[in-house]
């Protein structure tokens, strides 16, 4: 469903992604781990369409060329990025924002838009599952939210936008164990045959709650190792130390 | 045309004589001091040369025999100015139009109408000149307004009276060649412990072929009528006034406005100044806190786009002790426009307990848009709390990307962010009918 071939990305002349290849099939959950500076956040930004990178290579979702699309067009095509640092937007109401986003995506996908009442009912149902206070809707987007509230707001948006490809960029960082469990439940509920998921994380903790089909190590801008879910535990025990040798072998090969 | 000849055309000596001693004094002041020029510090950010050039152009071009309102109907007034449920006084090209006005029901103890209709028993209240110590900051346009404007909107509120529904004063410029210069004037006097809300709307009827927005360099100079407005508000001890001023002149117009407020002890002013229209516009808001414990809360928005120039110049004079003033002015500057703000706070020697706060934030939407901000604190006393802050920034790229990544199209996302910026002011505007008008005039659309 998602196919990435030879993806490179540079910012101000620094190459951060350097020939990355990755394929994720429908219904699969893949995890990407890797040391700081390996390019994990750059990968998620480039997939979501953030400006400021020089990008080459190819990325297709259901055969459509993602790199040719604006961020909002990618969202309509089914890309969702849960931000590592969700942006605070004072003055824009959370409910107004959510409804505008959900309806823009529904409109683009040829579906009926929600009216105000229908949207509220839908939102409240999802919020109850994520243990989000209803007062949350009347606040400004992420403004003054705690770290956990921001991450739950990301999962709420992800749930309501019904993505084809969900990318979670360190959604587990800064969460206590209860919040982590809520977020993991939210992710598990979205897991299904119609959807691919890419979970970017530093820690295997989330991967115990959301067991990935494949685990990849991103290092020096490309996938250095891949394996099943046990790789996450190996990495925890051994660190990423082995990977540079692999990368060197790959270059030599 | 020389300055003297211009004066003779705009304020003929005979007519001024008939308008009374105040007008005569103003004409004499103008003959001595003349109109401001580009070297004038208070006019630093206003292209005053363009304004004076436009004055010469329109005055030289036609016989100025006053306005006609044949093609202005109530529907036009409603569409341009709105209806806020209270009495509405409508002036077209500076002349009162009873046909378009609805004095409405006003509380006992409130009088509003045209200066010429003022009952004898209230004549003394109608005098419009500021106190002598205010004349130091008089300028040529204000003098011209007093010398040339035959009619004036007058709002008088007796002691202890709460006026209820807002009094709406509407000044329309038709742009007809014979009425290409207008001098609208409003006088508000509120006695001890009384309360009133006054809304002033300045709007223009754009010629059918005028572009709504000018983008090419050739369109930068003003091509429309010149409105030279002056408002005087005198607030008695313990009285409360809310004053909303909406400048929504037609594209190409010139707007020069002065609002002069004199506050007595314990009085309160809440003022909102919105600048949306015209090619070149300036609003000078001059507040004198003359009695202890007076408070002025001054808010404003300017939203120039295309080649518009909007200049807001605020002066707050803390002339008495224990007075409070707040200034909260926001600018959104688009295209190749320029928006300027100058905020002058004076704290007089010998006063104590002054609390003055000033904040000016600007959102600059393009590389060619320009914002100027100039705080000027002149503090001549010791026991003072004065704060000021000014920012000029661009739209937050992270926020824009966040919204777009959720599927919200670029233009809609941009509008949401601009709306959030102006809503800090717009959301506080009452009544709701006026909030809707301002919302529609400011970028980001209605929320």
**What pLDDT is stored for residue A248 in this prediction?**
47
Q: Does A156 touch chain B (CB under 8 A)?
A: no
Work out the average pLDDT over B255-280.
96
Q: Across B338-419, where does the E strand assignment appear? A: 338-347, 354-364, 370-379, 384-393
Sorting pLDDT into bands at 50, 70 and 90, what band is B195? very high
How far is B113 from B101, CA to CA, in rounded Å? 9
Work out the average pLDDT over B78-99.
90
How far is A20 from A15, CA to CA, in rounded Å? 12
Residue B301 φ then ψ, to 5°? -135, 140
Residue pair A66/A2 in contact (Cβ under 8 Å)? The answer is no
Between B9 and B41, whose confidence is greater?
B41
Q: Do B401 and A97 touch (CB under 8 A)?
A: no
Q: Do B407 and A104 touch (CB under 8 A)?
A: yes
- Over the Cα atoms of chain A, what is R_g? 18
Residue pair A120/A98 in contact (Cβ under 8 Å)? The answer is no
Q: Does A83 touch chain B (CB under 8 A)?
A: yes
What ipTM was assigned to the predicted interfaces of this complex?
0.93
Residue given tokens 């055969």 in the structure block: A63
Give B421's contacts in chain A (Cβ within 8 Å). Answer: 91
pLDDT tens digits, residue range B278-296? 999 999 999 999 999 999 9
Sorting pLDDT into bands at 50, 70 and 90, what band is B137? low
CB-nearest to B404 from A71, A80, A83 is A71
Work out the average pLDDT over B48-54.
90
CB-nearest to A48 from B405, B409, B419 is B405
**What pLDDT is stored for residue B95 in this prediction?**
85
Residue given tokens 């196919």 in the structure block: A3
How far is B171 from B200, CA to CA, in rounded Å? 8
Q: Does B411 touch chain A (CB under 8 A)?
A: no
Work out the average pLDDT over B416-429.
94
CA angle B282, B286, B290 (to 5 degrees): 175
Sorting pLDDT into bands at 50, 70 and 90, what band is B215? very low
How far is A95 from A105, CA to CA, in rounded Å? 15
Residue B267 neighbours by CB distance under 10 Å: 28
Give B403's contacts in chain A (Cβ within 8 Å). Answer: 89, 92, 97, 101
Q: Does B407 touch chain A (CB under 8 A)?
A: yes
Residue B441 neighbours by CB distance under 10 Å: 19
Residue given tokens 């535990």 in the structure block: A233
Q: Is A11 exposed, middle or buried (0-12, 13-18, 19+ CB in 10 A)?
A: middle
Give A105's contacts in chain B (Cβ within 8 Å). Answer: 406-407
pLDDT tens digits, residue range B145-160? 888 767 889 999 999 9
Percent of chain B with pLDDT over 90: 61
How far is A216 from A64, CA to CA, in rounded Å? 24
Nearest CA in chain A to B411: A72
CB-nearest to B409 from A90, A104, A141 is A104
**What pLDDT is stored for residue A250 in this prediction?**
47
Nearest CA in chain B to A47: B405
How far is B251 from B206, CA to CA, in rounded Å? 7
Distance from CA of B228 to the nearest CA of A (A): 36
Distance from CA of A71 to the nearest CA of B (A): 5
Best mutation target, A49, A52, A72, to test chain B (most B CBs within 10 A) = A72
CB-nearest to B420 from A51, A91, A101 is A91
User: Which residues lie across from A30 on neighbouring strands?
Assistant: A198, A214
Distance from CA of A57 to the nearest CA of B (A): 21
CB-nearest to A76 from B396, B407, B447 is B407
Sorting pLDDT into bands at 50, 70 and 90, what band is B20? low
Sorting pLDDT into bands at 50, 70 and 90, what band is B218? very low
What is the average pLDDT value for chain B, to the nearest integer? Answer: 87
Give B406's contacts in chain A (Cβ within 8 Å). Answer: 75, 97, 101, 104-105, 157, 161
Between B126 and B310, whose confidence is greater?
B310
Sorting pLDDT into bands at 50, 70 and 90, what band is B169? very high
Q: Do B402 and A83 touch (CB under 8 A)?
A: yes
Distance, first Cα to last Cα, chain A: 29
Residue pair A166/A190 in contact (Cβ under 8 Å)? The answer is yes
Ordered per-residue pLDDT tens for chain A, 253 residues: 999 999 999 999 999 999 999 999 999 999 999 888 889 999 999 999 999 999 999 999 999 999 999 999 999 999 999 999 999 999 999 999 999 999 999 999 999 999 989 999 999 999 998 889 888 888 999 999 988 899 999 999 999 999 999 999 998 888 888 888 888 998 899 999 999 999 998 888 889 899 999 999 999 999 999 999 889 888 888 887 654 445 444 444 3
Residue B22 neighbours by CB distance under 10 Å: 14
Residue pair B408/A101 in contact (Cβ under 8 Å)? The answer is yes
Q: Does A87 touch chain B (CB under 8 A)?
A: yes
Instruction: Say whether pLDDT at B18 is over 70.
Output: no
Q: Do A101 and B396 touch (CB under 8 A)?
A: no
Note the residue count of chain A.
Answer: 253
Count how many pairs of residues, chain A against chain B, have C-beta atoms within 8 Å: 80
How far is A147 from B321, CA to CA, in rounded Å? 46
How far is B447 from B444, CA to CA, in rounded Å? 8
Distances from the Cα of B235 to the Cα of B156, B166, B243, B288, B320, angstroms: 10, 16, 11, 10, 15
User: pTM surpassing 0.90?
Assistant: no
Q: Do B420 and A92 touch (CB under 8 A)?
A: yes
Sorting pLDDT into bands at 50, 70 and 90, what band is B447? very low
pLDDT tens digits, residue range A189-238? 999 999 999 999 888 888 989 999 999 999 999 999 999 988 988 888 88
Work out the average pLDDT over B361-367.
96
Instruction: Say whether pLDDT at B439 is over 60.
Output: yes
Residue pair B370/A38 in contact (Cβ under 8 Å)? The answer is no
How far is B277 from B337, CA to CA, in rounded Å? 12
**What pLDDT is stored for residue B381 in this prediction?**
94
């Amino acid at each position: 469903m998602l196919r990435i071939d030879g993806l490179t990305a540079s910012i101000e002349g620094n190459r951060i992604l350097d020939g990355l290849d990755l394929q994720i099939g429908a219904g699969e959950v893949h995890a990407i781990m890797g040391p700081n500076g390996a390019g994990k956040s750059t990968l998620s930004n480039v997939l979501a369409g953030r400006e400021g990178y020089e990008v080459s290579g190819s990325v297709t979702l259901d055969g459509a060329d993602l790199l040719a699309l604006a961020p909002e067009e990618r969202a309509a095509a089914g890309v969702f990025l849960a931000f590592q640092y969700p942006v605070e937007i004072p003055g824009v109401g959370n409910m107004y924002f959510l409804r505008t986003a959900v309806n823009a995506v529904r409109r683009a996908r040829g579906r009926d838009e929600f009216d105000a009442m229908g949207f509220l009912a839908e939102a409240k149902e999802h919020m109850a599952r994520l243990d989000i206070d209803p007062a949350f809707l009347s606040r400004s987007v992420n403004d003054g939210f705690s770290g956990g509230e921001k991450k739950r707001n990301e999962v709420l948006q992800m749930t309501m936008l019904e993505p084809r490809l969900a990318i979670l960029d360190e959604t587990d960082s800064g969460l206590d164990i209860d919040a982590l469990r809520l977020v993991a439940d939210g992710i598990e509920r979205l897991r299904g045959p119609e959807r691919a998921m890419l979970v970017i994380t530093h820690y295997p903790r989330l991967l115990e709650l959301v067991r990935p089909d494949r685990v990849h190590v991103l290092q020096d801008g490309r996938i250095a190792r891949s394996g099943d879910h046990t790789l996450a535990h190996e990495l925890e025990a051994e660190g990423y130390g082995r990977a540079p040798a692999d990368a060197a072998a790959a270059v030599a090969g | 045309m020389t300055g003297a000849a211009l004066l003779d055309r705009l304020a003929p000596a005979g007519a001024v004589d008939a308008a009374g001693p105040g007008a005569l004094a103003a004409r004499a002041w103008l003959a001595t001091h003349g109109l401001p020029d580009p070297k004038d510090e208070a006019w630093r950010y206003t292209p005053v040369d363009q304004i004076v050039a436009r004055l010469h152009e329109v005055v030289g071009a036609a016989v100025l025999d006053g306005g006609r309102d044949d093609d202005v109907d109530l529907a036009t007034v409603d569409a341009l100015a709105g209806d806020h449920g209270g009495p509405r006084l409508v002036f077209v090209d500076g002349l009162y139009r009873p046909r378009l006005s609805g004095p409405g029901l006003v509380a006992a103890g409130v009088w509003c109408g045209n200066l010429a209709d003022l009952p004898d028993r209230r004549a003394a209240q109608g005098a419009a000149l500021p106190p002598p110590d205010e004349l130091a900051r008089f300028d040529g346009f204000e003098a011209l307004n007093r010398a040339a404007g035959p009619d004036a909107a007058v709002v008088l509120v007796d002691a202890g009276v709460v006026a209820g529904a807002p009094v709406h004063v509407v000044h329309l410029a038709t742009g007809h060649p014979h009425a290409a210069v207008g001098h609208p004037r409003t006088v508000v006097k509120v006695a001890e412990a009384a309360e009133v809300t006054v809304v002033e709307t300045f709007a223009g009827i754009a010629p059918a072929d005028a572009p709504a927005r000018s983008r090419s360099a050739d369109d930068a100079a003003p091509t429309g009528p010149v409105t030279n407005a002056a408002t005087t508000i005198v607030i008695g001890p313990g009285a409360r006034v809310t004053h909303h001023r909406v400048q929504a002149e037609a594209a190409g117009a010139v707007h020069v406005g002065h609002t002069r407020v004199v506050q007595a002890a314990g009085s309160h002013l809440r003022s909102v100044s919105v600048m949306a229209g015209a090619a070149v516009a300036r609003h000078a808001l001059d507040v004198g806190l003359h009695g202890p414990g007076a408070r002025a809360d001054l808010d404003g928005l300017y939203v120039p786009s295309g080649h518009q120039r909007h200049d807001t110049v605020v002066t707050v004079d803390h002339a008495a002790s224990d007075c409070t003033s707040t200034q909260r002015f926001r600018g959104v500057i688009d295209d190749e426009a320029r928006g300027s703000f100058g905020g002058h706070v004076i704290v007089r020697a010998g006063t104590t307990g002054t609390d003055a706060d000033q904040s000016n934030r600007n959102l600059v939407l393009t590389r060619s848009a320009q914002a100027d901000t100039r705080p000027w604190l002149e503090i001549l006393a010791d026991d003072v709390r004065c704060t000021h802050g000014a920012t000029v920034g661009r739209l937050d790229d992270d926020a824009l990307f966040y919204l777009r990544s959720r599927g919200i199209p670029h233009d809609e996302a941009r509008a949401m962010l601009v709306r959030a910026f102006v809503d800090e002011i717009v959301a506080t505007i009452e009544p709701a009918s006026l909030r809707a008008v301002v919302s529609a005039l400011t970028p980001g659309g209605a929320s």
